[in-house]
Each structure stands twice: as C-alpha cells, then as structure tokens.
Chains A and B, each alone.
Chain A
C-alpha cells in the first residue's frame, strides 16, 4: 500500500508485479484450487498448442484488483470488478496494472478502467466500481 485516493477523472495509478515465476503459478494453483496443468506443466502446455506454460488469467486479474485497492485505499469498497483476458501471460513476464478514473457519480461511487500490460501489450481489460472510504459503511 502506498498512496490512496484517486478521486477525479483522469487520475491514474499503476503497480508492477513480477517477474512471474513458476513457483508463483504453483502457489496460485494451490491457493485457488485451479490445478489445470497448462499453468505449470511445460510439456503438457506445449502439447496443447500453447507454446509453453501460461499464467492463470485470474492471477493477472488479482493484480488488477490489487491496483484498484491501492488506487482507492483499502477502506474503500469494491461493488463491481470485471475483466477480459486478451493475451497470455508467461513465466518471466512483468505485469503492469493500471487504474484510470473514468467517472465520478455525484453521490460518491467511482468508475475506473483497469488494464494490465506486459511490455506494452495489453493482456487484460476491465473496469471497477468503487465506493470510496468516506461513503463506505460496513
């Protein structure tokens, strides 16, 4: 957690995750329960036409979600977060996740776009709706 509180359209925060390691993919498989072999078994992934192991899409989305939490602060409440996976992420890749505020509703909720990129290539596109901490109530 660094700074918090993007609050007007155009405000932007990026975070960097990686390089992705096979160890991380195995940890993510264990923590998430997604044991599809395409995420850690190289010969299997090659045989299936993937050119090698690919990271779990949901690991990349977790990075985008981390970016959103960091952008609006851990006391804010996410009401909706969505993402589409547009390209594979591989071992060794550094993922840069970015949140950009698109809209701020008068009564508080903020909508931001989310992207994740590897070497400038978009691997995830999404959005998040957040209720900032001041309006959020548990």
Chain B
C-alpha cells in the first residue's frame, strides 16, 4: 500500500509552466503581518531607503509565495493531507524588493524514498529559480516536500 512509489519518477527534471511575479507592497505587508513582523523595512519606504535599499524589502522567506498558476504535474492527484514541509532554502544574489518583476520556474529536481521507524515516505526536491527580467538570477528557493505514506502518523509524541 504505502510502500509503493506514488510520485512519477518520469517527471524528474521537468518544470512547471514558467510564471512571472510582480512584487507588490501590499503583498509584502500582508506577508509581514502574517509572520508577526514589525521591522519597518517591510512597511516604510523612507526607512528602507535610509538603510541603502532602493525601496521596501521582502522578508527572506517571501519567495515561498511565488506559485505556478496551475499545480505542477508531479503534485496532481496527490492527497494534500499527506504533504508536509521537509526543508527549505533560499540563496540570494540580492534582496527581493517591492516593484520587482520576476520570472519564476519551478523544477522537480529529484524524488527520493525515505524509510524510518514511522514508515515510508517520498521526498520531492523542487527548485524555484527566480530571475530578473534582464535574466540575472535573484534567488534560488529549494523546496523539499515530504509525501507521507498512508501509515505514517504525526502525533506530537512520536516526532522528535
């Protein structure tokens, strides 16, 4: 049952339809509010400029909001109740700023099997490549997602 691979390995190396993002002040503000941030670089343009930024800055994990218009092929048909966050990483060439027009491509870099005492799971290793319109890489956001086997539960006491 859950020991069978459920994510199509043939999709390794494929990418979702590229999409563009216009980074809006309001989106940064809502994200900053949701994470409990009060640092003025996320809200106050004059303050951000006083620190040498060209404008309002996005929080470091903001690229997590960059999503393809349609679900990538490799997650279609999966049970969302079995999807968990595994790891994330953000490599920056420069900060992301309000007003940026960015091109994004989400790629399925690898799929790995993982077994533990709790059961089997599959890891989807995805990379979001964020580039400026002039083609320079701005950020690479690695997103490792866990797809739990049906038998893997997550009560507080069994996790460590």
A residues touching B (Cβ–Cβ < 8 Å)? 1, 17, 24, 27-28, 30-34, 36-38, 44-45, 47-51, 54, 56-59, 61-63, 65-66, 68-70, 74-75, 77-88, 90, 121, 133, 136-138
Contacts and interface: CB of A to CB of B under 8 A. Distances in A.
B91 A80 contact: yes
A74 B43 CA distance: 12
Nearest to B91: A80
Contacts of A28: 34-35
B55 to A, nearest CB: 10
A59 B31 CA distance: 10
- Residues of B contacting A: mostly: mixed
Contact of B59 (A62, A82, A87): A62
Sort chain B's interface into a size bin: 35 or more
A66 B153 contact: no
Interface string B41-83: 1000000000111100101110011010000000000011111
B51 A86 contact: no
B39 interface: yes
B88 A66 contact: no
B92 A74 contact: no
- Residues of A contacting B: mostly: mixed
Contacts of B40: 1, 74
A31 B156 contact: no
B123 to A, nearest CB: 11
B2 to A, nearest CB: 11
B31 A31 contact: yes
B153 A31 contact: no
A47 to B, nearest CB: 7
B86 A85 contact: yes
Given A78-B92, A81-B90, A1 B38 contact: yes
B156 A51 contact: yes
A33 to B, nearest CB: 5
Contacts of A47: 81
A33 B60 contact: no
B100 interface: no
A59 B90 CA distance: 15
Given A61-B61, A79-B92, 19 more contacts: A1-B40, A30-B34, A34-B64, A37-B81, A45-B81, A49-B153, A49-B154, A50-B154, A57-B85, A57-B88, A62-B37, A63-B35, A66-B59, A69-B60, A74-B39, A85-B86, A88-B159, A133-B51, A138-B94
